[in-house]
Amino acid sequence: MSVLEMKVPSPGESITEVEIATWLVKDGDYVEKDQPIAEVDSDKATLELPAEQSGVITLKAEEGDVVQVGQVVCLIDVDAAKPAGSAAPAAETPKQEAPKADEPAKQEAPKPTAQPAAATQTYATGAPSPAAKKILDEKGMDAAQVSGSGRDGRITKSDAELAAVPALGGNPVTATGSRSTTTTKLSVLRRKIAQRLVSVKNETAMLTTFNEVDMSEIFRLRKQYKEEFAQRHGVGLGFMSFFTKAVTRALQMYPDVNASIDGDFKVNYDFCDISIAVSGPKGLMVPVLRNAENMSFASVEANIKDLATKVRDGKITVDEMTGGTFTITNGGTFGSMMSTPIINPPQSAILGMHNIIQRPVAVDGQVVIRPMMYVAMSYDHRIIDGKESVGFLVAVKEAIDNPVAILMNGDERKGLGL
């Protein structure tokens, strides 16, 4: 019998371990070569593990196991015959829908566990048990305020835990709805994100500056050239290309925003690699547009569409998310009016876009209704001064308010590649 040992491949540089997120096949299944057999989580992405040969598979790791790169996770008996009368189709990767913003994923309530039998002990009628008394004392409640469910009306620990502290002058209230909880282990990716976010708060001097932009001209351009742009370039004209172009211009005007700290040194980049935050089934990912300063509007839109599709299909690679000198995140797609985006380390700044609201504004002494958006820039004050941060955001505002003059050299058709 010839047996192939399948080992965990390296997902990318500096990654030494992964977590088995999901097995897509069962122990003893017949698998085809290149068929996805598992999803593995690294600290940067979720990747599919394809079968290296056809045969019967024996699993050597459980879902949730953290395994080292190079460790054997399954065996494939390559001499095993394909089951008779079976086409042995490749297992489908279960599709996962990204939850809506602020909507928790649905999880099954845990099965009730058996409670240990309480030691036999006699209590006075209506009196709390010692554990219940401790809880009531902590809540500052009197036992007379609680109805006991135990033998002879005694107050149990559960009664005390469910008892709500009454409002002043009110009556005690007991919770009656479901109070079950579910505990699940965070994925490697989520744990790594948590570590990075905490490190940003602890290791940077993060500040945020705000401004607002008038989207009127962008609305006009999109409405006027939407169909022609799509026919010419095969992609829609969205907001992100305008903001990406505005950001790359501002980064070249304020180079310290396009820099990072490496120990006692500042590293400036002469290129603009823009990380674009994209929401996917596994959480927020930040694929990178390389040398975005050289891209046209159509190129930006095409590249963002391609990367976003890969994120949502779980096909994004580690290399496509590595690097980046500045990040753009758009909370407005979920309805956010204003926020303080958190820096994506080792970068030194991030731009947050928000929802667009028709608001009255003063223009040339007249009150008019305009589509307005608040924008926020969070930055590391260790490397970027207030003057640079405010100047950068003003430069972005100028470009968005007047894209034809500033981003298209006065020629909107040529600027859009039409």
* Strand 66-68 relative to strand 46-50, pairing: unpaired
- In angstroms, the Cα distances linking 109 to 98, 116, 177, 406 are 21, 21, 14, 56
Does the annotation count 233 as an active-site position? no
In the structure encoding, which two tokens stand for residue 2, read together?
């010839």
Q: Say which residues have a Cβ less than 8 Å from residue 345's Cβ, sequence separation at least 6.
A: 196, 199, 200, 203, 204
Catalytic residue among 262, 385, 401, 411: 385
Cis peptide before 36 (omega within 30 of 0): no
CA distance 120 to 277: 59
Q: Do the beta carbons of residue 325 and residue 271 sit within 8 Å?
A: yes
Catalytic residue among 34, 79, 142, 381: 381
Provide the 3-class DSSP secondary structure of residue 64.
coil
CA distance 36 to 18: 16
Q: Say which residues have a Cβ less than 8 Å from residue 211's Cβ, sequence separation at least 6.
A: 374, 375, 393, 394, 396, 397
* Strand 278-280 relative to strand 283-285, pairing: antiparallel
Q: Do the beta carbons of residue 418 and residue 225 sit within 8 Å?
A: yes
CA angle (158, 159, 164) in 5-degree steps? 115
Q: Do the beta carbons of residue 30 and residue 105 sit within 8 Å?
A: no
CA distance 202 to 85: 61
CA angle (324, 327, 332) in 5-degree steps? 150
Does the annotation count 354 as an active-site position? no
Q: What is the DSSP string of 347-406?
A: -SEEEEE--EEEEEEEETTEEEEEEEEEEEEEEETTTS-HHHHHHHHHHHHHHHHSHHHH
CA distance 237 to 241: 8
In the structure encoding, which two tokens stand for residue 254, read together?
């304020």
Q: What are the catalytic residues?
A: 381, 385
